[in-house]
Amino acid sequence: MRDSRAWTRREFLGHAAIASASLALLNGCGPKRSSGRGYRLPGVDVSGSHSLKAHAMDARMLFGFAVNTQKLRDDAAYRSLVEQQCSIIVAENAMKWHALRPAMDQFSFADADALVEFASHRHIRLRGHNLCWHEALPEWFAKQVTPVNARQLLRDHIRTVAGRYSGRIHSWDVVNEAIEVKDGRPDSLRNTPWLQMIGTDYIEMAFRVARDSDPSALLTYNEYGIEQETQEAAMKRAAVLLMLRRLKQRNVPLDAVGIQSHLQAQSVNGYGAGLQRFVQDCREMGLEVFITELDVNDRTLPSDVETRDIGVANRYRSYLDLLLPERNVTAVLTWGVFDAGTWLNNGKDRAREDGSPQRPLLFDDHLRAKPAFVAVRDAFDARRQAGVLRGTPLSQKPLPKL
């Protein structure tokens, strides 16, 4: 049955036409006008009170992007869009082990420091991603890390990195993607190098050291593959909840869950009650929920760009309408600023059959708002109109004094 909020092309064009008249220039760095490439969204004002951060704030939420620090430094239009749209940002890669640790006895903080300064000076909240993951490990890791030194190495990494930015991070993804049901363990923990070399208590240790290193950051467990109404996702949700409950029972410092939300534009089972229940279970444990890496994979949609963009927009809207009524959902970040930067176009296994690049985000290759921009903004408005929030959620307390 068609979701009553899903737009047809005609409905969408009508909707866009009533949006504010002028397409705002992005702080004087207006997007380059292309000769018809890509679907245009005439007449949508994205600036000021029409921005995503403004509509999110009206719904008592935070909105932002995962950012590329090099583009933030070098591309004025990209930087303007981030400043214009975001109340929170996260480094797509600059705070991972691979970026911070050129050698076992070395740290490289230049990009991360620049991002922290960028965010602080603009009063944009900053998520840290991530302190402990089985991917993005530097080349020396496999050669030099052993069961003898792994515990101290992880402890020192967290102390050094979280300690360096203490008081300046909204939330840390302390542990990322630690559950993998297919690995067959009774606790469903993923068989990562951290588990193999430290043991099952690496997760607890990571959170305790993170709290000790930065008492003000919201400590987050971040996960993917828990979104859909499938048996596999339901099993993974159950395993994540069991792990979270065990951590809370041991009084492990844990404040939030990140639902990565890498979505499919077309999904047989879709997204529904199972995920809503998961968010409510998190609330019952006193946990906030952040939608941390939102994007919509459009590889199975038809080639026509307008059809693709409206299909992607409908997914954004239906997914957020599912979760934003839950008052412990307090932040939404898309995994990238614009289509040209998406991770989904790196890797043949994610390519579209027609060979065209994916268009999974809210802004196109020329930093122009797409239908998905309007869909997300409308979803924030729907939450505000529903009066979901009365108080100020934990993550929106005033920024700590720098």
Q: Least distance from C-beta 176 to ligand G3I, angstroms?
A: 6
Among 307, 285, 289, 286, residue whose Cα is nearest residue 298: 307
Q: Which of 11, 113, 117, 135 binds ligand G3I (CB under 6 A)?
A: 135
- Is residue 137 near ligand G3I by the rule CB under 6 A? no
Rounded CA separation 256/283 (Å): 9
- Looking at the Cβ atoms of 93 and 120, the one nearer to ligand G3I is 93
Distances from the Cα of 254 to the Cα of 57, 94, 162, 178, 195, angstroms = 25, 23, 15, 15, 19
- 12-71 residues in contact with ligand G3I (CB under 6 A) are none
Extract the tokens encoding 56: 């999110």
What is the pattern of x (binds ligand G3I, CB under 6 A) and - over residues 248-287? ------------x---------------------------
- Looking at the Cβ atoms of 176 and 213, the one nearer to ligand G3I is 176
Please, what is the Cα angle at 295 between 298 and 343, to 5 degrees?
85
Distances from the Cα of 313 to the Cα of 96, 137, 150, 364, 370, angstroms = 30, 34, 44, 13, 8
Nearest residue to ligand G3I by CB is 343
- Is residue 192 near ligand G3I by the rule CB under 6 A? no
Taking each helix axis from N to C end, the angle separating 202-213 and 150-164, rounded to the nearest 10 degrees, works out to: 30
Q: Least distance from C-beta 96 to ligand G3I, angstroms?
A: 6
Q: Least distance from C-beta 379 to ligand G3I, angstroms?
A: 22
Q: b/e map of 194-207 (b: 16 or more CB within 10 Å)?
A: bbebbeeebbbbbb
Of 90-98, 200-208, 304-312, 355-363, which segment contacts ligand G3I by CB under 6 A?
90-98
Rounded CA separation 162/86 (Å): 23
Distant-in-sequence, close-in-space partners of 56: CB < 8 Å, separation ≥ 6: 62, 63, 87, 332, 380
Q: Which of 6, 57, 136, 285 binds ligand G3I (CB under 6 A)?
A: 136
- Is residue 340 near ligand G3I by the rule CB under 6 A? no
- Looking at the Cβ atoms of 109 and 224, the one nearer to ligand G3I is 224
Q: Tell me which of 92, 177, 223, 326 is the catalytic residue.
A: 177
- Is residue 92 near ligand G3I by the rule CB under 6 A? yes
CB 85, CB 372: distance < 8 Å = no
CB 352, CB 295: distance < 8 Å = no
- Is residue 93 near ligand G3I by the rule CB under 6 A? yes
**What 3 state SS string does 103-129 have?**
ECCECCCHHHHHHHHHHHHCCCEEEEE
> Is 177 in the active site?
yes
Rounded CA separation 162/209 (Å): 9
Give the other-Cβ count within 10 Å of 74's Cβ: 10
* Amino acid at site 272: G
CB 237, CB 192: distance < 8 Å = no
Of 92-100, 157-165, 184-192, 269-277, which segment contacts ligand G3I by CB under 6 A?
92-100
- Is residue 197 near ligand G3I by the rule CB under 6 A? no
Q: Tell me which of 223, 288, 293, 326 is the catalytic residue.
A: 293
Q: Least distance from C-beta 293 to ligand G3I, angstroms?
A: 5
- Looking at the Cβ atoms of 137 and 235, the one nearer to ligand G3I is 137
> Is 288 in the active site?
no
- Is residue 343 near ligand G3I by the rule CB under 6 A? yes
- Is residue 96 near ligand G3I by the rule CB under 6 A? yes
Q: Least distance from C-beta 381 to ligand G3I, angstroms?
A: 28
Distances from the Cα of 34 to the Cα of 40, 75, 365, angstroms = 10, 18, 10
Q: Which of 111, 214, 288, 293 binds ligand G3I (CB under 6 A)?
A: 293
- Looking at the Cβ atoms of 260 and 334, the one nearer to ligand G3I is 260
What is the pattern of x (binds ligand G3I, CB under 6 A) and - over residues 150-179? --------------------------x---
User: Where on the chain is the footprint of ligand G3I (CB under 6 A)?
Assistant: 92-93, 96, 135-136, 176, 224, 260, 293, 343
Catalytic residues: 177, 293
